[in-house]
Structures are given as C-alpha cells and as structure tokens.
C-alpha cells in the first residue's frame, strides 16, 4: 500500500516480491530433505549413493528453478558374481564408482574331513583397475576350501566355498627290457599333503 503524502509525493512501498517457482524439482532416485519455497535441498534415497553434482535447487527471479545437478547411483557391493573356475581360479566383478586402482586381499583356508590335522592357510594380494578380475590359486586336491576376498577401500568382504577333487593321471607308457643284473629296488614316496599324482 502506498499513501499520498502532504508533500504531494507517494510514500515508499515496503513490500518485497519474490518469484514463485512452484513445485520443487524432482531428481531421479532422490528425496527432498529441506524446502523453504526458494531453496530446496535434495539427498539420494536409500540404496543409492550420491555421486556427482550439487544437491541444492534455487528459485531464480525469473520464476524458474535452477535445478540441482545431483546424480544418484545404485549402491552395489564392490565384489559381485564371485565364482570358482576349474577348481583353480576365482573370478569376480568389481563395482567401482571411479577408475581408481582397487586392492584386494584374498585369503583361503583348506581342510580335509579324512585328515583332521591338515590345514592349508594362505593369502594373496591383487591390485587392479579392471572391472572383471580373475586370480588363479594353487588349490590342493581333495580339499574343502573357504575363500574370502576383501576390497581394501570399502572393507567389503565376499566369500565362497569349494571342494576340489582328485584328478586321475593319464595312463603311463612303460618300456620293458630284461637285463641279467641283480634285482633293482624302486621306491616311491608321496608327499603327505599334496596328493599330487605319482607318475
């Protein structure tokens, strides 16, 4: 309201007008956590990770929202699709947000039902930028293994178990000759833990 003063001039108007931008912008996989008609703060909804961009939308004097640029991506375990190949190698898919090198700690422990005192406990480390990884381990035959892989950056661990079998060696080719000599002695000794085929 403005009043005509005795001086013949209009009194000053104190009202201040702001642009009304309407409903807050909607961002994929996000929710509004604060809204005061001119500023809106967004955050990623549960199960999604804040990746890039600003999380604030502002109402501009034009009456249009300058929308937040926040990108929300689905949170996935850093180690996915873990499996054992040919009783020798472990394979997995790495879920990473950047092209950074990830370091993995692979620990594996083997035991045998028929040999209670036996234990094969080892660890390996692997650093890689790859999305698909494979690491071959020297797993012993006829052994129950528990294998764990930990991604260092997130301290996430994935585990898998596997049982190895005893491979049958190929048939031996034997050359036989007779000699008139004293009878020779042939001694064979199997290593107690490896169960490798004797050839």
> Strand 71-74 relative to strand 79-85: parallel, antiparallel, unpaired?
unpaired
Superfamily (CATH) of domain 79-163: Immunoglobulins (2.60.40.10)
Write the DSSP symbol of residue 53.
Answer: S
What is the rounded distance in angstroms from the CA atom of residue 88 to the CA atom of residue 139? 6
The confidence score (pLDDT) of residue 44 equals 93
pTM over 0.85: no
**pLDDT, averaged across the chain:** 87
The confidence score (pLDDT) of residue 175 equals 81
- Tens digits of residue pLDDT in 148-170: 999 988 788 999 999 999 877 77
Is the pLDDT at 89 greater than 60? The verdict is: yes
E strands present in the chain: 30-35, 39-44, 48-52, 56-59, 65-66, 71-74, 79-85, 89-94, 102-112, 115-128, 132-136, 144-151, 156-163
Is the pLDDT at 194 greater than 80? The verdict is: no
Q: Where are the domains of the chain?
A: 30-74, 79-163
- Of the chain, the percentage scoring pLDDT greater than 90 comes to 43
Q: What is the mean pLDDT of residues 110-125?
A: 92
Q: Which residue has the higher pLDDT, 197 or 133?
A: 133
Q: Which fold has domain 30-74?
A: Rubrerythrin, domain 2 (2.20.28)
Residue found by looking up tokens 């190949």 in the block: 85
């Amino acid at each position: 309201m403005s009043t005509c003063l005795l001086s013949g001039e209009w009194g000053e108007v104190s009202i201040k007008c702001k642009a009304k931008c309407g409903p807050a912008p909607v961002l994929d996989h996000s929710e509004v956590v604060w809204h005061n008609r001119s500023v809106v703060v967004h955050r990623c909804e549960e199960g999604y990770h804040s990746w890039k961009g600003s999380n604030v939308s502002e109402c501009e004097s034009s009456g249009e929202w300058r929308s937040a640029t926040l990108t929300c991506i689905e949170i996935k375990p850093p180690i996915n699709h873990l499996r054992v190949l040919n009783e020798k190698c472990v394979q997995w898919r790495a879920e990473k947000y950047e092209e950074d090198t990830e370091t993995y700690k692979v620990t594996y422990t083997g035991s045998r039902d028929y040999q209670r005192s036996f234990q094969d406990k080892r660890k390996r480390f692997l650093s890689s930028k790859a999305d698909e990884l494979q690491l071959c381990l020297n797993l012993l035959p006829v052994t129950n293994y528990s294998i764990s892989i930990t991604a260092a950056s997130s301290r996430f661990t994935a585990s898998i178990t596997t049982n190895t079998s005893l491979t049958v060696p190929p048939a031996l080719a034997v050359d036989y000759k007779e000699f008139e000599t004293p009878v020779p002695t042939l001694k064979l000794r199997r290593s107690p833990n490896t169960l490798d085929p004797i050839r």
